[in-house]
Amino acid sequence: MGVFVENSIRCIMAKKLDGLHPSLIVAFNLTLEIFNEVPLPAELQGETSLLIDVAVLGGCLCITVNYETTKIDVWVMKEYGYRDSWCKLFTLVKSCFTSHLRYSNPIGYSSDGSKVLFEGIEVLLDVHYKKLFWYDLKSERVSYVEGIPKLFFFKKPMISCFKKQMRFLYKG
């Protein structure tokens, strides 16, 4: 699924047809009707076995890089289009979670900016559960949003409609 930032839709793609993991960001500019490649952080150039996903966080283009068994890095592009403006915000380490986290994408910040709300897919006994959780930037701890059915699925367009309302779910 793509995200909309700076008048373009962005998505992750693989460079090779046989590529198992996505390795580049492609943008389609809706005004100019052209495609272009968005540079990944220099640290990730040439990596072909990473699980990368794209999101929007704080109005900036964001990527999550899932190293599956150890950690998830969260990067934002502070100035769109400039490779040097990529900044690694934080790393979610495996020890934060009670089970294996297969996928994770940031949705937005808490009202005071101290936490980031994520959607994620947790794998427990070969069953995939969609979860919402807060990541506290200071304590580096995860707390799950309670009360969501185990088989709850949601689409990104729905989430973006409720971002403003969701920031009031957690005040702290």
In a domain, 41, yes or no: yes
Whether residue 14 contacts residue 22, with contact meaning beta carbons closer than 8 Å, is answered with yes
In a domain, 85, yes or no: yes
Site of tokens 């490779």: 83
Site of tokens 């990473």: 50
For the ranges 8-12, 142-146, 161-165, the maximum mean pLDDT occurs at 142-146
> What does the pLDDT read at residue 6?
72
In a domain, 44, yes or no: yes
Is the confidence at residue 169, as pLDDT, over 50? no
Can you tell me the distance from the alpha carbon of 59 to that of 43, in angstroms, rounded to the nearest whole number? 23
Can you tell me the distance from the alpha carbon of 47 to that of 40, in angstroms, rounded to the nearest whole number? 10
Is the confidence at residue 156, as pLDDT, over 50? no
Can you tell me the distance from the alpha carbon of 20 to that of 48, in angstroms, rounded to the nearest whole number? 9
In a domain, 31, yes or no: yes
Please provide residue 9's backbone torsions phi and psi, each rounded to the nearest 5 degrees: -95, 130
In a domain, 58, yes or no: yes
Q: What is the pLDDT of residues 39-96, one digit of tens each?
A: 889 888 777 667 888 888 888 888 888 887 678 899 999 988 788 999 999 888 876 7
In a domain, 172, yes or no: no
SS3 164: helix
b/e code 21-35 from CB counts within 10 Å (16+ = b): ebbbbbbeeeeeeee
* Total domain count, the chain: 1
Counting every residue written for the chain, the total comes to 172
Mean pLDDT of the chain: 74
Q: State which residues form the domain around 109.
A: 3-166
